[in-house]
A and B are shown apart, each in its own frame.
Chain A
Amino acid sequence: MLLFRSEQHVNRWCAQWNRPRGGTLSLHQGWQLAIEWYGDRLSPSWLPKTVPEAQAALAKIGLVEEFWQLA
């Protein structure tokens, strides 16, 4: 997961590496995702997210398209 200056730079990177365009999110969404994913990581009772839990975390920040489906 990389950071780019703009959508244009994402397109340029995809062309350079001959990769199809993936999914994009704003920095605000990235920060929200980081909180969802890592906010409880130091809890003694932490467990890896189940697929439904991880899917719910993605959906919570608006990542609901097919690209973001885990299963």
Chain B
Amino acid sequence: MTFDDKLRQFIYAFFIREQRAPRVAEMPAALSCSSREVKAGLKRLAQSHAFVLQENGELWRAAPFSAVPTAFPVEIGKLQWWSNCIWDALGIPAMLGKDARISASCGCCNYEMILNVKQGKVTGAKGVIHIAVPARQWYHDIVFT
């Protein structure tokens, strides 16, 4: 297993356990490496777009998790995470293989739209998903996408 694989797995395990992103300063001790190696590894992971860093070098996104609060909270039992969009919100129970409650709202009018993932099906609010950016341009501005 490469260092980047270990770093990626550490980040996901931390997110799942702590319901937040690990700070860069928390990673070296956990991975028995230097801060410099962590920062270089994060930059390599960010090339995949699955990981996005903030300007200060901290994680902004480890898809489908968001490191910052958003309009897409996802609850699984007593645990809660944030996600960056409805795709990622559905991605959390898809990744974890768990039932979930997604407290979303209409992108137009903020009308509450609660979705439940239960036994592999989505129930609850009726609606439609819209993506404004053509697939070819998804990674030109991942924050807007």
Contact = CB atoms under 8 A, between A and B. Distances in A.
Interface stretch (B19-27, B33-41, B106-114): B106-114
B133 A34 contact: no
A11 B36 CA distance: 48
Interface in B88-104: 88, 90-96, 104
Instruction: Report, as a range, how many residues of chain B touch the other chain.
Output: 35 or more
Contact of A10 (B48, B91, B125, B130): B130
Nearest to A68: B135
A1 B12 CA distance: 22
Contact of B129 (A14, A24, A38, A44): A24
Contacts of B9: 42, 44
Q: Is the interface of B mostly helix, strand, loop or mixed?
A: mixed
Contacts of B91: 34, 37-38, 41
Contacts, number: 148
Contacts of A68: 134-135
A3 B12 contact: no
B122 A31 contact: yes
B90 A22 contact: no
A48 interface: yes
B97 to A, nearest CB: 8
Interface of B: 1, 5, 8-9, 12, 48-50, 63-64, 85-88, 90-96, 104-109, 111, 113, 115, 117, 121-122, 125-136, 138, 145
Interface of A: 1-7, 9-10, 12-14, 16, 19, 21-31, 33-35, 37-39, 41-42, 44, 46, 48, 58, 66-71
